[in-house]
Protein backbone atom coordinates (compact mmCIF):
# COMPACT_ATOMS: atom_id res chain seq x y z
CA UNK A 1 0.00 0.00 0.00
CA UNK A 2 1.24 3.48 -0.90
CA UNK A 3 1.53 5.14 2.49
CA UNK A 4 1.15 8.91 2.57
CA UNK A 5 0.62 11.59 5.19
CA UNK A 6 -0.79 14.75 3.62
CA UNK A 7 -1.29 16.87 6.74
CA UNK A 8 1.98 17.64 8.52
CA UNK A 9 2.91 20.77 10.50
CA UNK A 10 6.63 21.45 10.95
CA UNK A 11 8.04 24.04 13.32
CA UNK A 12 7.06 26.96 11.06
CA UNK A 13 3.52 26.68 12.45
CA UNK A 14 3.36 28.45 15.83
CA UNK A 15 1.65 25.45 17.46
CA UNK A 16 4.05 22.81 16.10
CA UNK A 17 7.58 21.56 16.68
CA UNK A 18 10.14 19.61 14.67
CA UNK A 19 12.15 20.56 11.60
CA UNK A 20 11.33 19.56 8.05
CA UNK A 21 14.39 17.30 8.12
CA UNK A 22 13.29 15.69 11.39
CA UNK A 23 9.91 14.81 9.89
CA UNK A 24 11.47 13.40 6.73
CA UNK A 25 13.84 11.19 8.72
CA UNK A 26 10.89 9.92 10.75
CA UNK A 27 8.89 9.30 7.56
CA UNK A 28 11.65 7.05 6.22
CA UNK A 29 11.90 5.24 9.55
CA UNK A 30 8.17 4.39 9.65
CA UNK A 31 7.96 3.43 5.99
CA UNK A 32 6.07 6.32 4.45
CA UNK A 33 6.27 6.71 0.68
CA UNK A 34 5.30 10.38 0.71
CA UNK A 35 4.43 13.24 3.01
CA UNK A 36 3.13 16.72 2.40
CA UNK A 37 3.96 19.59 4.72
CA UNK A 38 0.98 21.84 5.41
CA UNK A 39 2.12 24.78 7.51
CA UNK A 40 -0.74 26.98 8.73
CA UNK A 41 -1.72 30.09 6.81
CA UNK A 42 -3.93 31.99 9.23
CA UNK A 43 -4.83 35.51 8.13
CA UNK A 44 -7.56 35.81 10.77
CA UNK A 45 -5.62 35.73 14.01
CA UNK A 46 -2.41 36.42 12.06
CA UNK A 47 0.09 34.68 14.38
CA UNK A 48 3.80 34.59 13.68
CA UNK A 49 5.59 32.09 11.47
CA UNK A 50 9.07 30.81 12.25
CA UNK A 51 11.60 30.77 9.42
CA UNK A 52 15.32 30.27 10.08
CA UNK A 53 14.70 30.96 13.75
CA UNK A 54 13.02 34.32 13.04
CA UNK A 55 9.40 35.02 13.90
CA UNK A 56 7.65 37.13 11.28
CA UNK A 57 3.95 37.98 10.77
CA UNK A 58 1.97 35.20 9.10
CA UNK A 59 0.71 37.68 6.52
CA UNK A 60 4.23 38.54 5.35
CA UNK A 61 4.79 36.67 2.08
CA UNK A 62 8.56 36.49 2.66
CA UNK A 63 8.20 33.41 4.81
CA UNK A 64 6.22 31.46 2.21
CA UNK A 65 9.03 31.54 -0.34
CA UNK A 66 11.63 30.57 2.27
CA UNK A 67 9.41 27.75 3.52
CA UNK A 68 8.88 26.35 0.03
CA UNK A 69 12.60 26.52 -0.74
CA UNK A 70 13.44 24.68 2.48
CA UNK A 71 10.92 21.89 1.83
CA UNK A 72 12.16 21.46 -1.76
CA UNK A 73 15.81 21.35 -0.68
CA UNK A 74 15.23 18.76 2.05
CA UNK A 75 13.00 16.80 -0.32
CA UNK A 76 15.87 16.47 -2.77
CA UNK A 77 18.04 15.08 0.01
CA UNK A 78 15.51 12.37 0.84
CA UNK A 79 14.48 11.43 -2.70
CA UNK A 80 17.28 8.81 -2.99
CA UNK A 81 15.83 7.17 0.13
CA UNK A 82 12.50 6.62 -1.59
CA UNK A 83 10.57 9.47 0.05
CA UNK A 84 8.45 11.87 -1.97
CA UNK A 85 8.34 15.23 -0.16
CA UNK A 86 5.59 17.65 -1.13
CA UNK A 87 5.03 21.26 -0.14
CA UNK A 88 1.64 22.58 0.89
CA UNK A 89 -0.22 24.80 3.32
CA UNK A 90 -3.36 24.54 5.41
CA UNK A 91 -5.19 27.83 4.94
CA UNK A 92 -8.03 29.01 7.16
CA UNK A 93 -11.27 29.95 5.44
CA UNK A 94 -13.50 32.64 6.94
CA UNK A 95 -15.73 35.34 5.43
CA UNK A 96 -13.65 38.09 3.89
CA UNK A 97 -10.47 36.05 3.53
CA UNK A 98 -10.84 35.41 -0.19
CA UNK A 99 -9.02 38.36 -1.74
CA UNK A 100 -6.21 38.61 0.86
CA UNK A 101 -5.61 34.87 0.70
CA UNK A 102 -5.68 34.81 -3.10
CA UNK A 103 -3.10 37.58 -3.16
CA UNK A 104 -0.99 35.89 -0.48
CA UNK A 105 -0.87 32.56 -2.33
CA UNK A 106 -0.37 34.03 -5.80
CA UNK A 107 2.56 32.45 -7.62
CA UNK A 108 3.58 30.35 -4.60
CA UNK A 109 5.39 27.16 -5.59
CA UNK A 110 2.99 24.86 -3.76
CA UNK A 111 1.83 21.34 -4.45
CA UNK A 112 -1.24 21.51 -2.27
CA UNK A 113 -3.54 24.06 -0.63
CA UNK A 114 -5.95 22.60 1.91
CA UNK A 115 -8.78 24.79 3.12
CA UNK A 116 -10.07 24.37 6.65
CA UNK A 117 -12.92 26.00 8.55
CA UNK A 118 -11.61 26.59 12.07
CA UNK A 119 -13.55 29.77 12.88
CA UNK A 120 -17.27 30.33 13.42
CA UNK A 121 -18.47 33.68 14.72
CA UNK A 122 -14.98 34.48 16.02
CA UNK A 123 -14.80 31.20 17.95
CA UNK A 124 -12.16 28.56 17.23
CA UNK A 125 -13.64 25.10 16.77
CA UNK A 126 -10.34 23.35 17.49
CA UNK A 127 -9.60 25.24 20.71
CA UNK A 128 -11.34 23.59 23.67
CA UNK A 129 -12.23 26.69 25.67
CA UNK A 130 -13.43 28.67 22.66
CA UNK A 131 -15.38 25.78 21.11
CA UNK A 132 -17.01 24.75 24.39
CA UNK A 133 -18.24 28.27 25.07
CA UNK A 134 -19.61 28.59 21.54
CA UNK A 135 -21.36 25.23 21.52
CA UNK A 136 -22.91 25.86 24.94
CA UNK A 137 -24.53 29.03 23.61
CA UNK A 138 -25.51 27.75 20.14
CA UNK A 139 -28.11 25.22 19.04
CA UNK A 140 -26.68 22.27 17.14
CA UNK A 141 -28.53 22.95 13.88
CA UNK A 142 -27.55 26.62 13.98
CA UNK A 143 -23.89 25.78 14.52
CA UNK A 144 -23.83 23.01 11.90
CA UNK A 145 -25.70 25.16 9.38
CA UNK A 146 -23.12 27.91 9.78
CA UNK A 147 -20.27 25.42 9.54
CA UNK A 148 -21.47 23.73 6.35
CA UNK A 149 -22.35 27.12 4.89
CA UNK A 150 -18.72 28.15 5.40
CA UNK A 151 -17.53 24.88 3.85
CA UNK A 152 -19.71 25.51 0.79
CA UNK A 153 -18.31 29.03 0.48
CA UNK A 154 -14.76 27.69 0.78
CA UNK A 155 -15.45 25.15 -1.96
CA UNK A 156 -16.80 27.87 -4.25
CA UNK A 157 -13.94 30.29 -3.62
CA UNK A 158 -11.52 28.69 -6.09
CA UNK A 159 -8.73 28.92 -3.50
CA UNK A 160 -8.35 25.31 -2.42
CA UNK A 161 -7.54 21.82 -3.68
CA UNK A 162 -9.30 19.99 -0.84
CA UNK A 163 -11.28 20.70 2.30
CA UNK A 164 -9.78 19.58 5.59
CA UNK A 165 -11.32 17.59 8.44
CA UNK A 166 -15.03 17.79 7.73
CA UNK A 167 -17.15 17.52 10.93
CA UNK A 168 -14.26 18.85 13.04
CA UNK A 169 -16.94 20.36 15.29
CA UNK A 170 -17.41 16.87 16.72
CA UNK A 171 -14.03 17.01 18.50
CA UNK A 172 -15.42 19.18 21.28
CA UNK A 173 -19.08 19.18 20.25
CA UNK A 174 -19.90 15.52 20.89
CA UNK A 175 -19.77 15.82 24.71
CA UNK A 176 -22.19 18.77 24.63
CA UNK A 177 -24.52 17.87 21.78
CA UNK A 178 -24.47 14.11 22.29
CA UNK A 179 -25.32 11.58 19.58
CA UNK A 180 -27.17 14.19 17.54
CA UNK A 181 -23.80 15.67 16.52
CA UNK A 182 -22.99 12.42 14.71
CA UNK A 183 -25.99 12.70 12.40
CA UNK A 184 -26.65 16.43 11.92
CA UNK A 185 -24.75 16.30 8.61
CA UNK A 186 -27.59 14.22 7.15
CA UNK A 187 -29.84 17.28 7.25
CA UNK A 188 -27.36 20.07 6.63
CA UNK A 189 -24.22 18.93 4.79
CA UNK A 190 -25.77 18.20 1.38
CA UNK A 191 -25.27 21.61 -0.30
CA UNK A 192 -21.66 21.80 0.94
CA UNK A 193 -20.83 18.32 -0.32
CA UNK A 194 -22.36 19.06 -3.70
CA UNK A 195 -20.34 22.28 -3.86
CA UNK A 196 -17.14 20.33 -3.19
CA UNK A 197 -18.00 17.77 -5.87
CA UNK A 198 -19.07 20.44 -8.38
CA UNK A 199 -15.76 22.26 -7.92
CA UNK A 200 -13.80 19.03 -8.42
CA UNK A 201 -12.18 19.36 -4.99
CA UNK A 202 -11.09 16.67 -2.61
CA UNK A 203 -11.68 16.10 1.07
CA UNK A 204 -9.29 15.01 3.75
CA UNK A 205 -9.60 11.96 6.00
CA UNK A 206 -8.03 13.38 9.15
CA UNK A 207 -6.78 10.74 11.58
CA UNK A 208 -5.88 13.01 14.51
CA UNK A 209 -8.81 11.75 16.60
CA UNK A 210 -7.29 8.26 16.77
CA UNK A 211 -4.30 9.37 18.84
CA UNK A 212 -6.68 11.34 21.04
CA UNK A 213 -8.56 8.17 21.91
CA UNK A 214 -11.41 8.56 19.43
CA UNK A 215 -12.85 5.72 17.40
CA UNK A 216 -13.67 7.59 14.18
CA UNK A 217 -11.64 9.75 11.85
CA UNK A 218 -12.89 13.08 10.45
CA UNK A 219 -15.19 12.80 8.63
CA UNK A 220 -16.94 10.00 10.50
CA UNK A 221 -18.04 6.84 8.71
CA UNK A 222 -21.59 7.97 7.91
CA UNK A 223 -20.48 11.35 6.57
CA UNK A 224 -17.66 9.77 4.57
CA UNK A 225 -20.15 7.49 2.82
CA UNK A 226 -22.32 10.52 2.08
CA UNK A 227 -19.28 12.28 0.61
CA UNK A 228 -18.78 9.43 -1.81
CA UNK A 229 -22.44 9.20 -2.80
CA UNK A 230 -22.43 12.98 -3.36
CA UNK A 231 -19.78 12.63 -6.07
CA UNK A 232 -16.63 13.47 -4.13
CA UNK A 233 -13.93 11.24 -5.61
CA UNK A 234 -10.67 12.82 -4.46
CA UNK A 235 -9.62 11.96 -0.91
CA UNK A 236 -6.37 12.54 0.97
CA UNK A 237 -5.29 11.09 4.31
CA UNK A 238 -3.40 13.04 6.97
CA UNK A 239 -2.39 12.69 10.59
CA UNK A 240 -2.49 16.44 11.32
CA UNK A 241 0.87 15.93 13.02
CA UNK A 242 2.17 18.83 15.09
CA UNK A 243 5.10 16.85 16.52
CA UNK A 244 7.45 14.38 14.87
CA UNK A 245 6.14 11.58 17.07
CA UNK A 246 2.61 12.10 15.66
CA UNK A 247 3.66 11.64 12.04
CA UNK A 248 1.73 8.82 10.40
CA UNK A 249 -0.46 8.16 13.42
CA UNK A 250 -3.83 6.66 12.58
CA UNK A 251 -3.08 6.11 8.88
CA UNK A 252 -4.20 2.48 9.02
CA UNK A 253 -7.53 3.57 10.48
CA UNK A 254 -7.79 6.23 7.81
CA UNK A 255 -7.25 3.76 5.00
CA UNK A 256 -9.73 1.35 6.58
CA UNK A 257 -12.35 4.12 6.79
CA UNK A 258 -11.83 4.96 3.12
CA UNK A 259 -12.24 1.39 1.99
CA UNK A 260 -15.30 0.86 4.20
CA UNK A 261 -16.90 3.90 2.54
CA UNK A 262 -16.29 2.39 -0.90
CA UNK A 263 -13.20 4.32 -1.99
CA UNK A 264 -10.47 2.45 -3.84
CA UNK A 265 -8.00 5.31 -4.35
CA UNK A 266 -6.18 7.82 -2.20
CA UNK A 267 -4.60 11.00 -3.57
CA UNK A 268 -1.60 13.21 -3.25
CA UNK A 269 -1.33 16.61 -4.91
CA UNK A 270 1.60 17.68 -7.04
CA UNK A 271 1.72 21.13 -8.57
CA UNK A 272 -1.88 21.66 -7.40
CA UNK A 273 -3.08 18.62 -9.37
CA UNK A 274 -4.46 15.45 -7.78
CA UNK A 275 -2.52 12.23 -8.32
CA UNK A 276 -4.32 8.92 -7.61
CA UNK A 277 -2.83 5.88 -5.89
CA UNK A 278 -4.70 2.60 -5.64
CA UNK A 279 -5.45 1.72 -2.02
CA UNK A 280 -4.08 -1.75 -2.66
CA UNK A 281 -0.76 -0.38 -3.86
CA UNK A 282 0.75 2.31 -6.03
CA UNK A 283 -0.86 2.57 -9.43
CA UNK A 284 1.85 2.10 -12.07
CA UNK A 285 2.30 5.20 -14.16
CA UNK A 286 -0.27 7.23 -12.23
CA UNK A 287 -0.68 10.67 -13.75
CA UNK A 288 -2.28 13.84 -12.39
CA UNK A 289 -5.97 14.27 -13.17
CA UNK A 290 -6.06 17.00 -15.76
CA UNK A 291 -9.67 18.14 -15.50
CA UNK A 292 -10.82 17.52 -11.94
CA UNK A 293 -13.94 19.61 -12.42
CA UNK A 294 -15.29 17.05 -14.90
CA UNK A 295 -15.57 14.29 -12.32
CA UNK A 296 -19.09 12.80 -12.30
CA UNK A 297 -21.51 14.26 -9.78
CA UNK A 298 -24.32 12.23 -8.24
CA UNK A 299 -27.34 13.52 -6.40
CA UNK A 300 -27.16 13.34 -2.62
CA UNK A 301 -28.60 10.17 -1.16
CA UNK A 302 -31.30 11.17 1.32
CA UNK A 303 -30.79 9.63 4.73
pLDDT digits (tens, 9 = 90+) for 42-66: 877 656 666 666 677 777 788 899 9
Tens-place pLDDT, residues 4-44: 999 999 998 888 999 999 999 999 999 999 999 999 988 77
- Is the whole-model pTM more than 0.75? yes
- Using the predicted structure, report yes or no on whether residue 299 has a pLDDT greater than 60: no
Specify the pLDDT at position 45: 63
Domain contains 263: yes
Phi, psi of 23 (to 5 degrees): -65, -40
Kindly report, residue by residue over 76-100, the tens digit of the pLDDT: 999 999 999 999 999 999 888 899 8
- Whether 17 maps to a domain, the answer reads no
In a domain, 1, yes or no: no
Q: Could you tell me if residue 162 is inside a domain? A: yes
> For position 42, what pLDDT does the model report?
81
Asked whether residue 259 is domain-assigned, the answer is yes
Q: What is the DSSP string of the chain?
A: ---EEEEE--TTSTT----HHHHHHHHHHTT-SEEEEEEEE-TTT--EEEETTEEEETT-THHHHHHHHHHHHHHHHHGGGT-EEEEEEEEE--TT-HHHHHHHHTT---SEEEEE--EETTEETTSHHHHHHHHHTS-HHHHHHHHHHHHHHHHHTT--SEE--TTTTHHHHHHHHGGGGGTTHHHHSHHHHHHHHHTT-EEEEE-HHHHTT-SS-BS-HHHHHHHHHTT--EEEEE--BSSGGGTTTTHHHHHHHHHHTT--EEEEEETTEEEEEETTSPPTT----S-GGGS---PPPP-
> Mean pLDDT throughout 115-126?
93
Q: What average pLDDT does the chain have?
A: 89
Rounded-to-integer distance, Cα 14 and Cα 75, Å: 22
228: left (phi over 0), alpha (psi -120 to 50) or beta: alpha
Q: What is the mean pLDDT of residues 162-181?
A: 96
Query: How many domains is the chain partitioned into structurally?
Result: 1
Q: Is 43 a member of any domain?
A: no
The percent of residues in the chain predicted with pLDDT above 90, rounded, is: 77
Task: Assign residue 114 the CATH number of its domain.
Answer: 3.20.20.140
On whether residue 2 sits in a domain, the answer given is no
Asked if residue 81 belongs to a domain, the reply is no
Range of the structural domain that residue 197 is part of: 91-294
Amino acid sequence: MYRIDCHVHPEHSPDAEGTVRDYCARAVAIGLNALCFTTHVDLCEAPTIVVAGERIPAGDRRWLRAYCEEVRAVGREFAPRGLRVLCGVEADYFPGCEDPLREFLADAALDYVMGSVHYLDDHVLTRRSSATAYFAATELDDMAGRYYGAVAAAAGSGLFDAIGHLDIYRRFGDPLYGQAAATVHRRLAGPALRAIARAGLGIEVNTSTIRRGGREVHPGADLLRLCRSSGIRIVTVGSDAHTVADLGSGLDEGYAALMAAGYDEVYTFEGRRPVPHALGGRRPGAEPLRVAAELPIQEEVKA
